[in-house]
Structure 1
Amino acid sequence: MADPTPVIGPEPPKKLSVDEVIAELQRIPLFMTNADATVDNPELEAFRALAFEGSRAEVASNFREQGNEAARARQWLDAREFYTKALATLKGPETAEKRVVEEGEEEEVEIDERAVEEACWVNRALCQLELKNYRSCNADCAETLRMNPANVKAWYRSASACLALDKIPEAADACSRGLEVDGTNKALRVLQGKIQARKDYITKVEAARQEREEKEAKEKAAITEALKTRNIPTRKTNSPPNMEDAIIKLASPLDPTSTLSIPMLILYPLASQTDLIKSFEETHSLLDHLSYLIPVPWDTNQEYTLDSIDIYMPTPSSGLIKAGKKLPLQKLLASGKIELVDDMLHAYIVPRAKAAGWISDYKLTQGGRRP
């Protein structure tokens, strides 16, 4: 059989899948979403080379424009990177052969470089400000102002960074210097108001803190005086308990002669149990509080009743003193034999029938050891 008649004309286009179409587009710089340097793509290499053609100022300007585009899109990390590349280019050697220039053109090129460098410093400061890198923002503003002390944007961004860091005097100074350059600048005027408002708030908070500390100091002094006049020995240990809101207090906080309230730790040593009386007024007796503590829920043998217990309180000499249940606390404390440890009183409750044995053991095991 004879060969079929050959088809004359162009070969029909090959049908591509969606993935294949996207892959082809990725080879065209205009449509690229991932410029992978490892891809062998002459078009891309030529596109990249454009960024590095020309004088140092021209290359830096190219990076600066890319940074501006990223900044307009609020892509702060990318924008910062482009400005950084522009600044690095300006500090480096010329990237292309110097052209034959007419007289005066070299000076014009130098002026252009300074303008690009100033713009890159102040724009990178904006990126740092938006990224909340406030110290870096200030550093870039300082570089800008070294080049041009009249750069209002640098003063504004430096003042904003200082305000964010709560460096109010520095923020106010930067804002004032910017207004010296442009007294009608609305952004600086608004920022000046924010700085003043923050200053007023900090002053108010500081005044309240000082007032609170002075009040606390006076209350502490009143309690110290109250303990001294009542002849109550006090002692601090290296590991005071966390009593939270159980504190020594006066009925009238600044009056040492007003009724004193003291926390008291009730211990049941033979049962390894405790109770805490957070506020034991000096006019109250032990019986006033024991009446709601006893009977205790864990006393299955009913050994702890108001009539069958004795109460002992430690003395500064590591001894014990028997405390009368009906005596007001102020009379017990007036003897000077009951010690206040870490701003708390201690009282041991034991069944009377077992008191002698417990006291003997206490002297052997606790003698010389304080609670």
Structure 2
Amino acid sequence: MATDKDLETLLDERMKLQDHERTQDSQTQNADKVAASAPLPPGMQKNQDTTTEDLWKELNRTPLFMTSLDETGDGESGENVALEALKALAYEGTRAEVAQNFREQGTELVRTEKRYPEARDYYTKALDALKRPPLPPDPEQGPQVVEIDEEAEERKERAIEEACLVNRALCNLEMTNYYAEENYGSCNRDCAAALRLNPRNVKAWYRAASACLALDKIPEALDACQSGLKYDSHNAALKKLTTKIENRQAHLAEMDRVRRERHERQRLEQATLRLALKNRNVLTRKTDRPPEMPEAKIALEDPVDASSNLSFPVIILYPVHAQTDFIKEFREDESLTDHLSYIFPLPWDEKKEYSLSTVECFMETVESGLIKAGKKLSLLKLLGSGKLEVVDGLVRISVVPKDQTAQWIEDFKKRRGKQ
């Protein structure tokens, strides 16, 4: 059992431990204050005073961290110094070396990723690099003596130019989703430029032929294939393309033959129809605003036989009640009775005013008058009288109840200014 002395000893030790912990906490806080008040290195101090937005802007002006092209100025001429320095690296060396660098980048994009638009841009940069004048010597580096074999350098440049033209032609050939005709034209121009440098470039002949085929320029496509085969008579790709072009040529020829035959058939049918109408003394006239009825037309039973049965589209008018019926094929040997017998009774005729015995039929004459059309006469008898005409290929017949005929005729004359 603990004595009073033991309890006092324990309490004294606990108090000492608490004092020690408080001392350590105080020292830690003082150290933090001292560290916070200590001056930072100049670079870190500058970042500490910069907002997050300004820091991101600054990083975007550094080529390594760029997410967009920033060319705002910080140098004497107002350009982004770091960016311009990085750009300059791409143009270090001779024209051939610079062009070759761009060519290799374009080729890598084609070979590995099929990124034809970006590859085309690199080939264009390579071709532009071959056209730029030599860089002037750097005055800071002093005079430099560099011996260059100009003939060898020129051969190298021509080889790079030829390759870039042919490869850019490939890019244009593959980029057919948009502006296809423009791309095929660019392909042909690049192939032509490459062939001026080297007429033996079979790839250029092949790609030129492919572009011409895509544009259906068959003679030019065949000529390009034959020209390529002169230099490589066993080239499998050119032979296969030649067969494809010949098949297309045969297909286009067949389409042209069918088109010409169809046109000749239409011409013959129209001439036969005119002869049939003339032989039957049927007058016709066209207006500036014909009705839109592409399937309804005057037609012969045999389109190339003027003596075969002739049919007309006919519109039956019920002017008193503002109603109509349409007969697509009214044969010349049929009468109004033949058709009215199945048209009557009319679904809207509540008063039963329309029947074969209670109606009269009228047709307008060439002089804008009226003629009574016999219901039992054939259509040809009516149209061949020389008094009527078919306007815009459509025969019009008005059907009026007998007890309203007089009033309707009077109204018709008033509309025509006959009274």
> Shorter-chain TM-score: which interval?
0.7 to 0.9
**1:175 correspondence with 2:214:** no
2:150 aligned residue (98, 106, 110): 106
Q: Deviations over 1:34-92 (max 9, x none)?
A: 57556999998766543211011111111111110111121001001101111111111
2:171 aligned residue (115, 120, 127): 127
SS of residue matched to 2:406: helix
**1:211 correspondence with 2:250:** no
Residue matched to 1:90: 130
Could you say if the C-alpha distance between residues 279 and 180 of structure 1 is closer, same or farther in structure 2, counting changes exceeding 3 Å?
same
- In the TM superposition, residue 239 of structure 1 has moved relative to its aligned partner by 0.9
Could you say if the C-alpha distance between residues 232 and 89 of structure 1 is closer, same or farther in structure 2, counting changes exceeding 3 Å?
same
**1:363 correspondence with 2:401:** no
With 289-298 and 308-317 compared, the bigger mean Cα shift is at 289-298
Corresponding letter in the other structure for 2:387: K
Distance of 1:249 and 1:164 partners within structure 2? 42
Corresponding letter in the other structure for 2:134: E
Distance of 2:413 and 2:231 partners within structure 1? 83
SS of residue matched to 2:92: coil
In structure 1, stretches of 5+ residues that fail to align are 7-23
**1:185 correspondence with 2:185:** no
2:89 aligned residue (50, 73, 76): 50
Residue matched to 1:305: 355
Identity %: 52
Query: What is the TM-score normalised by the length of structure 1?
Result: 0.86
Could you say if the C-alpha distance between residues 308 and 95 of structure 1 is closer, same or farther in structure 2, counting changes exceeding 3 Å?
farther
Contact 2:71 2:83 in 1 (8 A): no
Corresponding letter in the other structure for 2:294: E
Residue matched to 1:277: 327
Could you say if the C-alpha distance between residues 33 and 302 of structure 1 is closer, same or farther in structure 2, counting changes exceeding 3 Å?
farther
Matches within 5 A, 1:197-208: 197-208=247-258
Query: What is the TM-score normalised by the length of structure 2?
Result: 0.77
Q: Deviations over 1:145-177 (max 9, x none)?
A: 222222111111111111111111111111111
With 141-150 and 203-212 compared, the bigger mean Cα shift is at 141-150
Corresponding letter in the other structure for 2:92: E
Corresponding letter in the other structure for 1:58: E
- In the TM superposition, residue 333 of structure 1 has moved relative to its aligned partner by 2.1
Contact 2:340 2:356 in 1 (8 A): yes
* Bigger fraction of residues in helix: 2
Corresponding letter in the other structure for 2:265: K
Largest Rg, 1 or 2: 2
Matches within 5 A, 1:133-282: 133-282=183-332
Distance of 2:104 and 2:370 partners within structure 1? 87
Q: Deviations over 1:241-276 (max 9, x none)?
A: 111211111112211111111111111222222221
Query: How many residues are aligned here?
Result: 349
In structure 2, stretches of 5+ residues that fail to align are 1-22, 32-58, 75-79, 139-143, 177-182
Could you say if the C-alpha distance between residues 306 and 93 of structure 1 is closer, same or farther in structure 2, counting changes exceeding 3 Å?
same
Q: Deviations over 1:312-353 (max 9, x none)?
A: 111111111111111111222231222111112111111111
Contact 1:268 1:349 in 2 (8 A): yes
**1:76 correspondence with 2:120:** no
Q: How large is the RMSD of aligned CA atoms in angstroms?
A: 2.8
Contact 1:160 1:171 in 2 (8 A): yes
Distance of 2:324 and 2:172 partners within structure 1? 59
Contact 2:361 2:374 in 1 (8 A): yes
Corresponding letter in the other structure for 1:299: D
**1:61 correspondence with 2:100:** yes
Corresponding letter in the other structure for 2:312: I
Could you say if the C-alpha distance between residues 367 and 245 of structure 1 is closer, same or farther in structure 2, counting changes exceeding 3 Å?
farther
Distance of 1:231 and 1:140 partners within structure 2? 66
- In the TM superposition, residue 33 of structure 1 has moved relative to its aligned partner by 9.3
Corresponding letter in the other structure for 2:410: S
Q: Which has the higher contact order (CA 8 A, sep 6+)?
A: 1
